């Protein structure tokens, strides 16, 4: 089976790919390993042809999960993983020094049971290390045949240009959705100019535009509990916009998540959507968004729903924001 595909940077990708983080990490109790494995295989059966993991996800468990359950189908998908954020002495840490990157990569190759990763990202910017030095480590990894392409995650246009000056960047990923527009400040134009692909992670706003967030009673381990826009006093206000969005989705006979992902795909031809899910039914909905064409009227209605202060509260906690290099709006709230 195949789904609508796009040329995204150097890759011919399904317009919707799969972020694997929440199969081990970030949103509370992870599903049983066998269920996660079934979802990964079903994604490939549907025609999804990129799987996105990282050293940090599940504290190194996510890469091993992919190796165990879809390693035998390696020729069916582009494998993407990430470094800089990793587990150091049992704790989450950020280290963009070349030796740390090299170590993370070698451990990742071992966990993934492969000698080669197709797309390897700097997961976040280590502001204590010049981006040129971090990119240099990936250039050497490419020369050694360990990776094919270099990517950046949550980085500004200025950083992207500096990195691209060392070696062509294949892909940038950042949060982008109907109510998170930071890449529109400068990153999307920069990617277009330089021929870099763009993947929008959290295109349903961590479930907020998938009708999956109704209160802030999150289970232990859910990262949304530390994100100001997902907790009171902001959440009740923000849910009013989500309700309007849900009504629009109903009028269009679309699941809200599908409408949100279709909006992302409508913005630029070089953008792909990078949602994650633990549900096969939701996976099928997400993939179906690749076939949804939105009218200009619908896109304008979505803009109206999220205009002004429809969404209150920072995207990240103060601690998490220190690792984010993406541009911010003049009136944007920061923790």
- Tell me the per-residue pLDDT of 131-171, one tens digit each, with 9 for 90 and over: 999 999 999 999 999 999 999 999 999 999 999 999 999 99
Q: What is the DSSP string of 51-64?
A: EE--STTTTTHHHH
- Tell me the per-residue pLDDT of 13-34, one tens digit each, with 9 for 90 and over: 999 999 999 999 889 889 999 9
Q: Which residues are catalytic?
A: 57
- Tell me the per-residue pLDDT of 213-247, one tens digit each, with 9 for 90 and over: 999 999 999 999 999 999 999 999 999 999 999 99
Would the pLDDT of 3 be above 90?
no
State in words which class domain 5-321 has. alpha beta
DSSP character at residue 32: P
The predicted structure's pLDDT at residue 331: 86
Tell me what the mean pLDDT of segment 291-319 comes to: 96
Q: What is the mean pLDDT of the chain?
A: 96
**Residue boundaries of the structural domains of the chain:** 5-321
The pTM assigned to this predicted structure is 0.97
- Tell me the per-residue pLDDT of 240-279, one tens digit each, with 9 for 90 and over: 999 999 999 999 999 999 999 999 999 999 999 999 999 9
Tell me what the mean pLDDT of segment 76-83 comes to: 98
């Amino acid at each position: 089976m195949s789904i609508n595909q796009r040329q995204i940077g150097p890759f011919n990708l399904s317009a919707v790919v799969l972020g694997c983080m929440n199969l081990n990490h970030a949103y509370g109790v992870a599903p049983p390993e066998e269920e996660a494995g079934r979802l990964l295989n079903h994604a490939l059966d549907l025609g999804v042809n990129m799987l996105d993991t990282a050293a940090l996800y599940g504290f190194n468990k996510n890469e091993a999960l992919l190796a165990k359950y879809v390693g035998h189908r390696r020729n069916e998908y582009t494998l993407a993983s990430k470094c800089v954020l990793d587990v150091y002495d049992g704790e989450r840490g950020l280290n963009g020094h070349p030796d740390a990157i090299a170590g993370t990569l070698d451990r990742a190759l071992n966990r993934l049971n492969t000698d080669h990763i197709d797309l390897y990202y700097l997961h976040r910017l280590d502001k204590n290390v010049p981006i040129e030095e971090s990119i240099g480590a990936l250039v050497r990894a490419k020369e050694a045949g360990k990776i094919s392409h270099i990517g950046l995650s949550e980085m500004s246009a200025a950083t992207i240009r500096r990195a691209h000056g060392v070696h062509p960047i294949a892909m940038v990923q950042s949060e982008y959705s109907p109510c998170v527009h930071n890449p529109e400040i400068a990153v999307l134009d920069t990617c277009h100019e330089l021929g870099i692909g763009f993947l929008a992670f959290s295109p349903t706003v961590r479930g907020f535009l998938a009708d999956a967030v109704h209160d802030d009673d999150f289970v232990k381990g859910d990262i949304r509990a530390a994100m100001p826009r997902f907790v009171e006093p902001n959440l009740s206000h923000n849910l009013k916009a989500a309700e309007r969005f849900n009504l629009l989705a109903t009028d269009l006979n679309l699941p809200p998540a599908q409408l949100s992902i279709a909006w992302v795909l409508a913005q630029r031809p070089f953008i792909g959507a990078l949602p994650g899910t633990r549900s096969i039914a939701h996976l099928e909905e997400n993939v179906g968004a690749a076939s949804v064409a939105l009218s200009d009227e619908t896109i304008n209605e979505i803009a109206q729903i999220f205009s002004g202060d429809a969404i209150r509260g920072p995207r990240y906690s103060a601690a998490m924001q220190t690792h984010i290099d993406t541009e911010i709006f003049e009136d944007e709230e920061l923790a």
